[in-house]
Structure 1
Amino acid sequence: MAILFDKQTSRWLLQGKNVSYGLGVDKNGTLQHLYFGSKLPFVSDLPDVNTAIYHSSFEPSGGITQPEYPAWGGMYYYEPCLKATFSDHVRDTRLVYKEHQITENEQVDELVIVLQDTVYPLFVHLHYRLFPEHDVIERYAVIENTGTTPITLEQALSGSWHTPRGDRYRLTHLGGKWIEETQIYQDEITPGKKTLESRRGNTGAQANPWFAIDRGTADEDQGEVWFGALGWSGNWKITVEYNPFKLLQVSGGIHDFDFAWHLEGGKSFQTPAFVGGYTRLGFGQASRNFHDYQRNHVLPKPIAEQVRPVLYNSWEATYFDVTEQGQMALAERAAAIGVELFVVDDGWFGERHHDRAGLGDWTVNPVKFPNGLKPLIDKVESLGMRFGIWVEPEMVNPDSDLYRKNPDWIYHFPNRPRTESRNQCVLNVSKPEVQEFIFKMLDDLLSENNIDFIKWDMNRSFSEPGWPDAPQAIQKEIWVRHVQGLYDILARLRAKHPKVAFESCSGGGARIDLGIMRLTDEVWTSDNTEPYERLFIQEGYSLAYNAQTMMCWVADSAKWVKNRPAPVAYRFHSSMMGSLGIGGNLTQWSEEELAESTQLIEEYKSIRHIVQKGNQYRLLSPRKGNTTAVQYVTHDQSESVLFALMHPQKFQNPSPRIYLRGLKSDSLYKVTDIEEPISGSALMNRGIDVNLHADLASKLLKIREVK
C-alpha cells in the first residue's frame, strides 16, 4: 500500500518510490503536517502529531505548528488557505477532522480527508493523489456548503507545502517579461513573505506558477529539493512564508485579489491542483520526475503518446498578407525540407488585413480564399503534410461585426473607458452565451475543414473586469469563471474532435502552466526566436516543464527582435531541444540554406523520440561560462543525444570538457566523431571534448549503446 493509516495515533503516511509525506490529527482535531522528505518505512517513524513550539504569551496558546490546510480564524496569523464569511457575518473559520477515505488504483492512489467547521455547515474535502513512480503528489480542495444560506469565500487556496524546520533555505523561481520568459531567479529565504503572482487574467510572463526550495547548496546532481507547480491558467499566487521559528510554508492557488466566490447552499467549489514533489538528487532529478509525471498523467491522451511533428508556421513570412497562392508557395517549400504540419497564422478571416480589425469574425476571407480553405488544405495534404490554423477566440476588435452586434460581450464597467490593448478587448468568457459562441465557431471550423492543429492565442491581459448584467454577488467570480469557461470549451472540442492537437499561446509564453497542459498538446514558449537568447528561456522552462511541450522555431537570421546573425546549424540545434518548428520566410532562404535545413530536419526526426520522451540533463548552463550543453537519454539508457552550443566567445577560450549523465556505466557506446566505442563510465567520468571555438558554433552528438 502506498498510503498507510494508523488509527490509534490518527496519522497518515503517503509513500512514493523515494519520498514520504506525513500528516496527522492533533488533540484539538486540527490536521497537522508532519513530514515531507526521504522515504520512511513505517507510520511510527513520523513525529508526534501533538508536538509544538511554545514561545511566550505573545504567540498563539496552542504553540507554533504546521497546519495542513489553515483557515483564517482564532489566533492564526500566517497565510491561510481558506478565508470565509458566513451569512451571519462571522468571519472566523475553525476546521476539524471528520473522516477520511483511501482509494487505490494502478497508477495513482488517493487519500481524501474531510474537515468540517465546528459550527457552520462548511466542509473541506482535501484530496491527495499520489503518483509513486514519479514521487509526485497532486493536491486540491473541494469546499462544500451543506447548509441553506450562502457562504462567501474570500480566499480558497489549493494547499500549503511545508519543509522541515531549519534555516538557510533558498527559493528558485521563474520570472521575466515578453521575449524574456522563464528566466531563473534564486533568492535566500528570510523571515517574511515573498509572493509570486499574476493578476492579469492569464498565467503571465512576469512569473510562472512553479517553485523549488532547497537548503542553499543543491545543484543539478545533488541536494534536497522540494518543488511544485499550480495547474491554473488565470489569476494565481504562490506565497513563500518563513517565520521566526524557522518554519517554512509555500501556499498556492487562485489569487485572492479582487476575488470572492458566492457559495450557495448545496454547492461546492473546487480549487485547481497544486502539485508537489521531493528529491535528494538535485534540480536535475526534480525536473526529470516532474517531466515524466506530465507526459504520463497531465498531457492529453492519446496524442501525448506520439512524438510532436515538425511544424511550419507562416506568420513571420506573411504576417497579415495571407493569400491562397502565397500559402501554397510556402507549403511547397516547407514540404520539400521535411515539414509535417503546415500552419496558417493570423490574417485568414474577416477583414483581418492588420491588427485593428476583424477579431471575432471567424469566417474565411472571400478575397484571400475565394473557394474557402479547402483548396489550400487539399494542396497541403497532397504534399504529405497535415494542416493547422491560428485563432484568438477570447478576443475581439471593436472594429468587427461581432462587437457591433454584441458590444456588451466584453468585460467592462459602466462610466469607465473600455481600454483597448493591441486594438482589442477581452470577451467575457464567463457568459454562457459567449462560451457557446466560441465553441460553435471552432466546432464549425473543425467540422467543415480537415484541420489537425489549432494554435489558440491570447494576446492581451484583462482590464475593467466588470460584468454589468450579472448579480452583484458573483461580480468578483469572473477571474475564475473565465478560466473554467476556457477549460470547458477546450474539453468539449477535444471530445468531439479527438485527432486535433492544440497549442497554447499567449503573447508569447504567458499561458504556460499545468492547467492548460491538461487540455493542450504543446505551448508557445516565447515570441523570442533568437537562438542564443532562447537558450536562457529554454533552460528555465526545462526546470518545470518537459521538452515535448516546448515549441521552438527556427526563424530568419538577424531579423525578428534584432536577432544577431547565426549559422543555420546553430539556429536548428537551439530549436531541436524541444518540439521543432520552422518560422522563417522560406521563399527567401537560399538553396544552400534549404539543403542544410533538409538534412537537419531529417536528423531531428531520428532523435526526437529521445528529446521529447527522454530524461533531460542540463550539463552546462548558458548563465555560466561560454558553452551551453544539454543531454537527453532514453529511459532504457540505450540512446542519447548531446547538444553543445558556444556563445559569443571571449579570449579564444575553447569550450570546456563535458561530462555526460544517465548512461550505463558498464556498457559501451558509439559516439558521433569518436572512432572507437567508449564506456558509459568514461563518458560520465572522463568526459569528452566537443572542440567548439568560434562564435555561435554548435554540435550535435549521437550516443548509441553497442549491443
Structure 2
Amino acid sequence: MAQAVQFFESGEESSWVLTTDQAAYVLGLTADGRLQHRYWGERLPYHTDYPGLGERKASYAVEGHILPSDEYPAWGGFLYTEPCLKVTFADDVRDLVLVYSHHRQEVGQEGLPVLVITLKDNYYPLEVDLHYKVVPQCDLIQRWTVIRNTGQEWLDIEAALSAAWQLPTLRDGSYRLTHLSGRWNSETQVRHAVLTDGCKTLESRRGLTSAEANPFFAIDILAPDGTMASEEAGQVWFGALGWSGNWKIAVEHASDPVRAYVAGGINDFDFRWRLNPGEEFVTPPFVGGYTSQGFGQASRNLHLYQLDYLLPRSHAKQLRQVLYNSWEAVFFDVTEEKQLQLAEHAARLGVELFVIDDGWFGQRHHDRAGLGDWYVNPEKFPRGLDPLIAQVHELGMHFGIWVEPEMVNPDSDLYRAHPDWVYHFPHRSRSEKRNQLLLNLARADVAAHVFAWLDSLLSEHHIDFIKWDFNRTITEPGWPDAPVERHREVYVRHVQAFYDIVERLRARHPQVVWEVCAGGGGRADLGSLARFDQCWVSDNTDPFDRLRIQEGYSMVYTPKTMMAWVSSSPTSRHINNEALRLRYRFHSAMTGSLGLGEDLGQYTAEQMAEAAALVTQYKTIRHIVQEGLLYRLISPRTGDLTAVQYVSRDQRESVVFVFLWQRPHQANARLEADVRRLSRNSSRKWSVRLMPLKVLVIHGGDRQGGEQ
C-alpha cells in the first residue's frame, strides 16, 4: 500500500507514479511549474519505463483541434477545449495560470493512500488542491478538487470540473466511446460511438442525474482491422462521476495524432458560485480506471469498489432483503386493513421486508394533493401506523415506507402556508409535473423542515426502511430571496442539502436501510450510492425490457444495489405457460436484488406455492448474485439469447441465468445445453446442476481437482 504513491525527482524533472495492482497513472512537472499528464495504462516494471514529459505547443486555432496536456486545464491562454476551471476575479480578470505550489500524502478514512497536489495562480490568491485516492485492488483512482480563495476579495467560479482524464496517443486506429442513455422506463441503455474530431458531451441539465444519460464513460480502441475490446479482452479506460445533480462529461477527440481527453464534473450550465475570502469549493468525486481485460473487468472493478469502499458501511456487508412493495396492488387506496392482508400474503412467500408506498399521508387520495403534508392520514389509519408496523414485525418482516421529501402539491397545507418555498421566478408561472412542485432545498429553512419531519417519522415509529423518491425535474430554478450573486448556486446547493439530510438521518437512525429512487433510475450514480444502500433502477418491471436496462446498469453499478421486482407485465403475457411466465419474471428479477410488487391477493394457490419456492431459491443464491463477480456472457442486444453469470469471490460457487427473448416456453433444452457450453469455456472445472426451477448453479474446483 505504501508504494501506491511514489514521487521521483531527477534534475529539473519531478513526477508522481500512482500504481494499482494492474495499472499506473503518472503525472509530472515541467521546468516552468506546469503539472502535466504523462501516462495512464498498464503498470510497468520500473518508473523509468514511463514516458517523459511532452512539451505542449501553443494551440493556435489554425492548427486544428489540439487537446491540452495539462493535468487540470484552466481557462486561459490558448485553451479552446473544455476547461476544468474557469473563474472571474473581482477586477473582472477571467484568465488563470495555474502552477505547482506543493504536495502532500495522506491516508483516507478507508486506509487508502491519497496524494494531494496544490496548484496556485501565478498572481491572484487562488489555490487548487487536486486529490488522488488510489484503490489498488480495484485498479481505480478517485479524484476530486478543492478550490480555495486565499485573498481578501470575492471571486466567481463559472466552471469547476472534478478531473480531466488524458488517453494515450494512438499510432493507428480510432477511439470508441461507450456510454449509457435512455429515458423514463428505458434507463441505462448501452450505446457505442466511434469518436471523431470535436467534442461529444454527455450531460444532465434537469437538476438530477436523469434517466436520459448516466455519468459514466468507457473508451476502447477500434483497430484498423475492425477489432475492438470485448467483455473479457482489450484495453478499456473508464470513469464514473459521483454526483446526483446537473453533471457533464465532455469527451474530446483529435486526429493526427489520435488523442482523446475526458473532463467531467458538475455541469457549468446555468452555474455560478460566489467564493468569498477564506472559502473553498469541493467538487464531487470522479472515479477512473484502466484495464486490459475488457468491459467486464472494468465493471467488476467498479462493483468491488462499491462493495468494499463506497456503499454506506452500516449495511454494506448485509445481504439485501427480499421486499414486497404494495404500490401496484392498491395505488392510492391505502388502508390498514388492505396493507395487513398484503403483508400476510407476503410473509407466506418468505418476504423479509414489507414496504408501504405512496398514499399513506395527508389528503393523499390521488396524485393531485397531499404531497408536503407528512402526517399519517387518520381516515386510512385510524389507529396510526404503529399497529400495522407491529403486525408486520410479528409476521417476521421488517417494515418500510415511501417518502418524497423534496416535493409538494399546490393542493397541500404546506404550500398554502409557504408558497415561497418552491423554486420559482417572479412574474413567471410555476410549471407543474405530476401535479407537483419542487421545494427549494437551497434554503436553510426548507432543508431544516425536511430533516425535522423525517427525523420525527423515524423517531416516533419503528421503521426499518425508507424509499426516497423524486418524481420531477427542476424548472424555474429561481431563488428570489437570495442575493443576486447566489441565484445560480441553487442546482449545487440543492444536491448538497439532499446529501446532508440523508447523512444526518443515517447518523441518527443507523438501523434504517435507504433506497434511492427518482421516477425510476433518475438518481442512479455513485453520489447516491455513497449514501443509499440500494437503487430503484426503473419503473419498468417488464422482464424482457429489464434485461437490457439491467445490463446497462451493471456496466457501472453492483447488482447488490439493483432492485428488481416481479410485477404485472403486459409483455410477458404472450408466454402461454402460466408457470413459466411467473418463473421468467422471477428469474429476470433474481439477477439483482429481488422484490415483488403485484397484487398477491390475485395469486392462485398454485402461484403462491410457486412464488414461495422461487423466493426460497433466490435466498440460496443471493450471496453469489449480490456479492460475487458478474460476467455478462451474452448481451441481450446481440440476439434472442442472453446470459449472465455470477461467481463467488472465492471462486467456489457460481450461478448462471440464461434467457430467450423469443418463445421462452421452448427454452428448457436449449437453455441447459448453452449453459453447459458456456461453463466449459471457463478456466476452471465446473459441475453444472439444473435446479428444479430452471436456474443453473455451478460448483467449481481448480484444474487439479474439485467437483465433477
Q: Scaled by the length of structure 2, what TM-score is found?
A: 0.93
Structure 1: distance between partners of 2:314 and 2:473:
32
Q: How does 1:44-59 map to 2 (within 5 A)?
A: 44-52=48-56, 58-59=62-63
Cα displacement (A) at 1:162 = 1.1
Tell me if the contact between 1:631 and 1:660 (Cα under 8 Å) persists in the aligned partners.
Answer: no
- Summarize the Cα distance change of 1:85–1:337 in structure 2 as closer, same or farther, 3 Å threshold: same
Query: Who is 1:704 aligned against?
Result: 699
Sort the Cα spacing of 1:484 and 1:311 in 2 relative to 1 into closer, same or farther, 3 A.
same
CA distance in structure 1 between the partners assigned to 2:142 and 2:680 by the alignment = 27
Alignment partner, residue 37 of structure 1? 41
Q: Which moved more, 1:608-617 or 1:162-171?
A: 162-171
Deviation at 1:670, TM superposition (A): 3.3
Q: Aligned-pair distance for 1:561?
A: 12
- Closer/same/farther in 2, CA of residues 662 and 465 from structure 1, 3 Å limit: farther
Q: Secondary structure at the match of 2:214?
A: strand
Sort the Cα spacing of 1:664 and 1:253 in 2 relative to 1 into closer, same or farther, 3 A. same
Is 1:90 the equivalent of 2:93?
yes
The corresponding residue for 2:263 is 251
Post-superposition shift, 1:662?
A: 11
Is 1:141 aligned to 2:145, yes or no?
yes
Counterpart of 1:195, as a letter, is: T
Task: Within 5 Å, give how 1:423-438 maps onto structure 2.
Answer: 423-438=435-450
Residue type of the alignment partner of 1:132: P
Distance across 1 between alignment mates of 2:204 and 2:68: 29
Q: 3-state DSSP class of the match of 2:435?
A: coil
1:449-505 alpha-carbon deviations (Å, 9 max, x no partner)? 000000000000000000000000110000000000000000000000001011000
- Equivalent positions of 1:243-392 (< 5 A) are 243-244=254-255, 245-392=257-404
Deviation at 1:49, TM superposition (A): 1.4
8 A contact 1:172–1:184 mirrored in 2:
yes
**Is 2:250 aligned against 1:239?**
yes
Amino acid at match of 1:94: V
Q: After TM superposition, give the deviation of residue 252 of structure 1 in Å.
A: 0.2
Hey, what's the Cα distance between the residues in 1 that align with 2:68 and 2:377? Answer: 63
In the alignment, what sits opposite 1:176?
182
Cα distance, 1:704 vs structure 2: 1.9
- For the residue of structure 1 that corresponds to 2:565, the secondary structure is strand
Tell me the amino acid that sits aligned with residue 629 of structure 2: N
The DSSP-based 3-state class of the residue aligned with 1:138 is strand
2:541 touches 2:569 (CA, 8 Å); kept in 1? Answer: no
CA distance in 2, matches of 1:250, 1:665: 35
Matches within 5 A, 1:393-472: 393-472=405-484
Q: Which moved more, 1:650-659 or 1:111-120?
A: 650-659
Q: Which amino acid in structure 2 is aligned with residue 136 of structure 1? A: L
Query: What one-letter code is carried by the residue in structure 2 that aligns with 1:231?
Result: G
Residue identity matched to 1:215: I
The amino acid of 1:272's aligned partner reads P
Shift in Å, 1:47: 1.7
Counterpart in 2 of 1:519?
531
Unaligned runs of 5+ in 1: 675-689, 691-697
2:7 aligned to which of 5, 13, 20: 5
The answer for the alignment partner of 1:218 in structure 2 is: 229
1:194 to 188, 191, 200: 200
Letter in 1 for 2:269: F
Q: 1:206 maps to what in 2?
A: 212
Distance (whole Å) between structure 2 residues aligned to residue 178 and residue 665 of structure 1: 40
Structure 2 Cα separation of the partners of residues 178 and 202 of structure 1: 13
* 1:617 corresponding residue in structure 2: 631
Distance 1:186 1:495 in 2: 41
Q: What residue in structure 2 maps to residue 678 of structure 1?
A: none
Report the Cα distance in structure 2 between the residues aligned to 1:662 and 1:125, rounded to whole angstroms: 50
Structure 2 residue 689 is matched with structure 1 residue 672: yes
Tell me if structure 1 keeps the 8 A contact 2:98–2:121.
yes
Q: Distance in 2 between matches of 1:661 and 1:88?
A: 67
Q: When the two structures are superposed, what TM-score results if normalisation uses the length of structure 1?
A: 0.93
Task: Tell me the SS of whatever aligns to 2:360.
Answer: coil
Shift of 1:673: 3.5
Structure 1 residue 59: Cα displacement = 4.5
Q: In the TM superposition, what is the alpha-carbon distance from 1:627 to its structure 2 partner? A: 1.2
Tell me: CA distance 1:471–1:666, structure 2 relative to 1, closer, same or farther (3 Å).
Answer: closer
Superposed CA RMSD in Å reads 2.3
Count of residues in Structure 1 that have an aligned counterpart in Structure 2: 683
Aligned partners of 2:68 and 2:79 also within 8 Å: no
Hey, what's the Cα distance between the residues in 1 that align with 2:575 and 2:540? 9
2:238 aligns with 227
The alignment partner of 2:313 has SS state of coil
In structure 2, how many angstroms separate the alpha carbons of the residues matched to 1:546 and 1:442? 28
1:25 pairs with 2:40 = no
Quick one: distance in 2 between partners of 1:57 and 1:349?
61
1:619-671 alpha-carbon deviations (Å, 9 max, x no partner)? 1111112211111000111111011111114998955734546998455x432
The alignment status of 1:548 with 2:564, answered yes or no, reads: no
| Contact 1:528-1:561 at 8 Å conserved across structures | no
Local SS of the residue matching 2:301: helix
Quick one: distance in 1 between partners of 2:662 and 2:680?
Answer: 29
One-letter code of the match for 1:614?
A: G
Tell me the SS of whatever aligns to 1:642.
Answer: strand
Q: Is the Cα–Cα contact under 8 Å of residues 320 and 347 in structure 1 kept in the other structure?
A: yes
Matching residue's letter, 1:237: K
TM-aligned CA deviation for residue 98 of structure 1: 0.6
Query: Identity of counterpart residues, as a percentage?
Result: 54
Question: 8 Å contact 2:6–2:17 — kept in the other structure?
Answer: yes
